[in-house]
């Protein structure tokens, strides 16, 4: 079910998801994840829905604890048994939620792959990188040891590792951080997955290295038509790589929009706060950074209210008593009773 | 623009003898590690000065040696050469015992909070530890002071009873910050203090650092790879590459006119949070990896990746030259009037200053 669907030169300028023909490859509906312990329950993700089409990059943005990583672990079926997952995760028409471990492991690494933040903890230090890339190929594509090694060399070249024939026999500790992350990407795309979930892929890397990794991801979606779910907290990375953006706050989706629109006309007060708090290199004077007052709410409750209300300058009674839905159904969606008018300039208000 | 605060106004006690004495003076600092097959020159001749209440940003990528500089400054690591003077006192070779009273004058905030906090202590115990060891607060007042400090770094009082593993990475870094601020240091060495924090948290921590720095007037060595953060906080910025400082300038000047090709590449590589602008930006992509500090390239350390390197760069190491406006740069080709740009290796590069030996 590999979708080798070549993408045109400037996917960024393409219309948002609705304009991409065909059904989304990954479709998440009403996904909720909670963790139960003896004393309390934490609702990490609360009725989250998103979809991503072939060749599209959807960025999921949010601060730590907002549930963005738990969402992707739930999609991959990698959560521990203490997690309760409800909702639907459809990958190309196949339902993954509630699938057995055996069914899932047939999908993971083949149709659905993931890369993590810290490559050193994901790679096995005592196996050569060729062996680790080959493992996926041998398992899912039944390649022989020799074929797998040849393919591993090709994959290393694909992700921009110089001298791949030599590198393939090296161990993770012999590579730099950026090279390790490229190896992780090579493992992830070895079987030409339909969807690649990249969880903070550049967070542990230097900016000059990050630039290279973002280019690799960009070329993958252009050459292989991979749908990419890019999980990040870095709005600079979002601006660089994403077609569409989903903003999460306290386990819920608060805004979803095409990338350009989100940055020029954010409508949720949280998104606006986030965008005004971000540092812009080369544009900082000694200004005071706008802060978002207050703290992220505890995830123990699932109130029928806007979870951002306590920190929001626009909040009124309704925000505290009814949960706003993410509306409209397509295009620029926002979950707020008092969304900022689409025309208002972005930075003014947050700086109040 | 008020970006250039050269001599920060001394706050209370301005008549101190120490006005002219810098909080930190590092001279030709070297930290070489013996390794099989040679010597790793992690820090190779770094000189820095931080005045009272001044914030110096030390910028570089991983492996540049910036953290080692920080560790040598607080004597967590022994320099193999050069000197470190804290408020005029040479501490390079002081014994641990002699150094102990000076420990309240400086504090280090580490890069990785998960490995710098004892997992078996509660947050309250962790923050109270320096207060207890230096006898700064009577035992009965510890809890209140800890809660106050937690509040200052944006945490709730009940966090005092939790353990580090119960907190997020961002919250853990705030604990480190609370711990460092507890002793009221004159010099704060902050090693990537905000790298692990979320955008809005980072904003509040940077504001907090700026506020505290202004109110208490401590000097700060702010070590980071995040150019935007350093621009926000620092008065001056020094850029490190492979154990050496390649450029130093007042913050606004560095961003307006980066002279060293490495600084230019760094500035261009950091994505800006604006898709329209980001699409138009030209990225200087550096080829290859950071060379091994075991065998740094001859000549200019950066020449293997430099888009404008000429023959001279491959053989002759550039000195860190003093330039007008308080700048220093270590590049044969850079001079402040005609800004270097990635035009490719053109030997016709307009008369590099002092470039008599070229060609």
pLDDT in tens, A219-258: 888 988 999 999 998 899 999 999 999 999 999 999 999 9
More confident residue, B169 or A307: A307
Q: What are phi and psi of B24, to 5 degrees?
A: -135, 130
**Is A279's CB within 8 Å of B203's CB?**
yes
pLDDT along chain B (359 residues), means of 10: 42 46 94 88 93 93 88 93 94 92 88 82 94 91 92 84 83 83 90 78 80 83 89 94 95 92 90 88 79 87 92 93 92 69 39 35
Q: Per the CB < 8 Å rule, is B276 touching A260?
A: yes
Residue A54 has pLDDT above 90, yes or no: yes
Cα four-point dihedral sign B338, B340, B344, B347: positive
Residue with more model confidence, B288 or A10: B288
β strands within chain A, DSSP E: 26-36, 41-52, 57-61, 83-91, 94-95, 112-115, 195-199, 227-232, 244-249, 252-258, 333-334
- The pLDDT, as a whole number, for residue A285 is 59
In A, which residues are within 8 Å of B269 by CB distance? 207-208, 210-211
Bridge partners, B41 (sequence order): B32
Mutation site, B111, B273, B285, B288, interface A, largest A CB count within 10 A = B273
Task: Say how many CA atoms lie within 13 Å of A304 toward its Cβ.
Answer: 2
Do A281 and B168 count as a contact with CB atoms less than 8 A apart?
A: no
Considering only CA atoms, give the Rg of chain A. Answer: 21
| Dist. CA A335–CA B5, nearest whole Å | 43
> Could you say which residues from 153 to 172 on chain B have a Cβ atom under 8 Å away from some Cβ of chain A?
154, 156, 168-170
Mutating which of B161, B203, B261, B286 best tests the A interface, going by the most A Cβ atoms within 10 A? B203
The rounded distance, in Å, linking the Cα atoms of A33 and A226 is 26
ipTM of the complex: 0.75
Q: 170-189 in B: which are within 8 Å (CB) of A?
A: 170
**Is B286's CB within 8 Å of A208's CB?**
yes
Contacts of B204 in chain A (CB under 8 A): 289, 291
Q: Assign A282 a pLDDT band (cuts: 50, 70, 90).
A: low
- Candidates B275, B280, B286: best to mutate against A (most CBs of A within 10 A) is B275
pLDDT digit string (tens) for A157-200? Answer: 888 888 899 999 999 998 888 889 889 999 999 998 999 999 99
- Would you tell me the crossing angle of helices B169-181 and B199-216 to the nearest 10 degrees? 0
Assigned token pair, A75: 């999609």
Residues near A321 by beta carbon (within 8 Å), at least 6 away in sequence: A304, A305
Residues of chain A contacting B162 with CB distance shorter than 8 Å? none
CB contact under 8 A, A211 and B226: no
SS3 B82: strand
pLDDT of A15 above 60:
no
Instruction: Report the residue from A64, A215, A279 with minimal CB separation from B228.
Output: A279
pLDDT number for residue A342: 63
pTM of the shown model: 0.79
Of how many residues is chain A composed? 352
Q: Which of B68, B63, B118 is nearest to B290 (CA)?
A: B63
| CA–CA separation, A160 and A158 (whole Å) | 5
Flag whether residue B117 sits within 8 Å of chain A, measured between CB atoms.
no
CB A79 within 8 A of CB A33: yes
Contacts with B61 from chain A: Cβ below 8 Å: 206-209
The beta-carbon neighbor of B269 closest among A208, A273, A279 is A208
> For residue B285, which of B271, B297, B274 has the smallest C-alpha distance?
B271
SS3 category, A300: coil
Touching check for B275 and chain A: CB below 8 Å? yes
Residue in A65, A208, A280 closest to B273 by CB: A280
Strands A333-334 and B89-90, sheet pairing: unpaired
Give the residue, B82 or A66, on which the prediction is more confident: B82
User: What region does B82 belong to: left with phi over 0, alpha with psi -120 to 50, or beta?
Assistant: left
The pLDDT of residue B44 is 92
- Chain A contact for B55, CB < 8 A? no
Instruction: Provide the shortest C-alpha distance from residue A140 to chain B (in Å).
Output: 33
Pick B207's closest partner by Cβ from A63, A264, A291. Answer: A291
Element (H or E) spanning B180, and its range?
helix B169-181
Of A64, A259, A281, nearest to B170 by CB-CB distance is A64
Residue A52: per-residue pLDDT: 94
Least confident segment among A19-33, A283-297, B197-211, B219-233 = A283-297
The whole-number pLDDT of residue A346 equals 46
B106 contacts: CB under 8 Å, gap ≥ 6: B73, B74, B86, B185, B186, B187, B188, B189
CB B87 within 8 A of CB B105: yes
- Relative to beta strand B236-241, strand B55-59 is parallel
Would an 8 Å CB–CB cutoff place B2 in contact with chain A?
yes
Contact A239 B226 (CB under 8 A): no
- Alpha-carbon dihedral angle through residues B228, B233, B239, B243, given to the nearest 10 degrees: -110
Sign of CA dihedral A332, A334, A339, A344: negative
Q: Which residues contact A138 (CB under 8 A, 6 or more apart)?
A: A144, A145, A148
- Return the structure tokens found at A334: 């926002």
Q: Which residues contact A17 (CB under 8 A, 6 or more apart)?
A: A24, A51, A52, A53, A56, A243, A244, A330
Judged by a CB distance cut-off of 8 A, whether residue B240 touches chain A is: no
- Cα distance between residue B263 and residue A282, in whole Å: 12
Q: A328: cis peptide before it, omega within 30°?
A: yes
**In chain B, helix, strand, coil percent, each to 5?**
35, 20, 45
Of residues B211 and A216, which shows the higher confidence score? Answer: A216
3-state secondary structure of B246: strand
* Chain B residues near residue A215 by CB distance under 8 angstroms: 285
Q: Pairing mode, if any, of strands B55-59 and B38-50?
A: unpaired
Determine which of A98-107, A281-290, A296-305, B327-336 has the lowest per-residue pLDDT on average. A281-290
Nearest-CA distance B59 → chain A (Å): 11
Mean pLDDT of chain A: 85
CB contact under 8 A, A280 and B272: yes
Q: Is B266 on the interface with A (CB under 8 A)?
A: yes
> Quick check: A208 and B278 CB within 8 A?
no
């Amino acid at each position: 079910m590999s979708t080798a669907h070549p993408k045109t030169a400037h996917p960024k300028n393409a219309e948002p998801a609705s304009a991409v023909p065909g059904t989304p490859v990954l479709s998440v509906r009403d996904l909720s994840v909670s963790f139960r312990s003896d004393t309390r329950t934490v609702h990490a993700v609360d009725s989250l829905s998103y979809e991503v089409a072939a060749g599209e990059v959807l960025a999921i943005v949010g601060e730590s604890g907002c549930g963005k990583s738990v969402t992707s672990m739930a999609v991959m079926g990698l959560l521990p048994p203490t997690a309760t997952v409800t909702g639907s995760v459809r990958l190309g028409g196949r339902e993954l939620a509630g699938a057995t471990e055996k069914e899932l492991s047939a999908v993971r690494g083949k149709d659905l792959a993931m890369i993590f933040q810290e490559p050193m903890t994901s790679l096995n230090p005592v196996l050569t990188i060729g062996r680790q890339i080959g493992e996926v190929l041998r398992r899912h594509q039944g390649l022989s040891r020799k074929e797998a090694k040849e393919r591993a060399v090709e994959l290393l070249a694909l992700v921009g590792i110089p001298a791949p024939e030599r590198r393939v026999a090296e161990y993770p500790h012999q590579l730099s951080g950026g090279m390790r992350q490229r190896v992780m990407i090579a493992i992830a795309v070895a079987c030409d997955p339909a969807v690649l979930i990249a969880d903070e892929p550049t967070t542990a890397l230097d900016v000059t290295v990050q630039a290279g990794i973002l280019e690799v991801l960009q070329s993958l979606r252009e050459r292989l038509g991979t749908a990419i779910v890019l999980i990040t907290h870095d709005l600079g990375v979002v601006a660089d790589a994403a077609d569409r953006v989903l903003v999460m706050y306290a386990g819920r989706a608060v805004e979803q929009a095409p990338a350009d629109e989100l940055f020029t006309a954010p409508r949720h007060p949280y998104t606006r706060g986030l965008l005004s708090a971000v540092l812009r290199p080369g544009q900082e004077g000694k200004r005071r950074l706008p802060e978002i007052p207050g703290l992220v709410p505890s995830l123990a409750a699932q109130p029928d209210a806007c979870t951002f209300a306590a920190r929001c300058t626009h909040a009124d009674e309704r925000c505290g008593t009814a949960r706003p839905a993410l509306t409209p159904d397509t295009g620029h969606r926002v979950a707020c009773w008092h969304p900022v008018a689409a025309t208002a300039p972005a930075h003014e208000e947050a700086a109040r | 623009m008020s970006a250039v605060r050269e001599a920060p106004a001394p706050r209370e006690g301005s008549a101190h003898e120490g006005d002219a004495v810098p909080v930190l003076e590092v001279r030709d600092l070297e930290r070489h590690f013996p390794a099989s097959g040679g010597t790793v020159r992690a820090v190779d001749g770094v000189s820095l000065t931080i005045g009272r209440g001044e914030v110096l940003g030390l910028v570089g990528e991983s492996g540049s040696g910036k953290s080692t500089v920080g560790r040598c400054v607080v004597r967590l690591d022994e320099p193999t050469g050069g000197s470190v003077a804290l408020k005029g006192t040479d501490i390079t070779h002081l014994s641990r015992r002699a150094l102990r009273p000076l420990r309240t004058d400086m504090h280090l905030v580490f890069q990785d909070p998960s490995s710098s906090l004892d997992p078996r202590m509660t947050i309250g115990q962790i923050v109270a530890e320096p207060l207890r060891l230096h006898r700064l607060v009577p035992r009965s007042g510890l809890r209140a002071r800890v809660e106050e400090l937690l509040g200052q770094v944006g945490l709730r009082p009940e966090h005092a009873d939790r353990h580090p593993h119960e907190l997020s990475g961002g919250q853990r870094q705030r604990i480190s910050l609370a711990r460092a601020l507890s002793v009221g240091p004159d010099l704060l060495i902050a090693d990537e203090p905000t790298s692990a924090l979320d955008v809005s948290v980072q904003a509040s921590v940077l504001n907090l650092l700026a506020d505290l720095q202004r109110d208490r007037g401590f000097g700060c060595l702010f070590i980071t790879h995040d150019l935007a953060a350093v621009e926000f906080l620092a008065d001056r910025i020094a850029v490190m590459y492979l154990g050496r400082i390649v450029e130093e300038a007042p913050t606004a000047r560095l961003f307006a006119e980066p002279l060293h090709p490495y600084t230019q590449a760094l500035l261009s590589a950091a994505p800006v949070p604006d898709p329209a602008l980001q699409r138009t930006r030209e990225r200087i992509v550096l080829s290859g990896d950071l060379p091994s500090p075991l065998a740094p390239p001859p000549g200019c350390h950066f020449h293997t990746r430099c888009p404008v390197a000429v023959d001279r760069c491959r053989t002759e190491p550039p000195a860190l030259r003093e330039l007008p406006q308080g700048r220093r740069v270590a590049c044969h080709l850079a001079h402040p009037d005609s800004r270097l740009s990635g035009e490719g290796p053109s030997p016709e590069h307009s008369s590099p200053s002092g470039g008599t030996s070229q060609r």
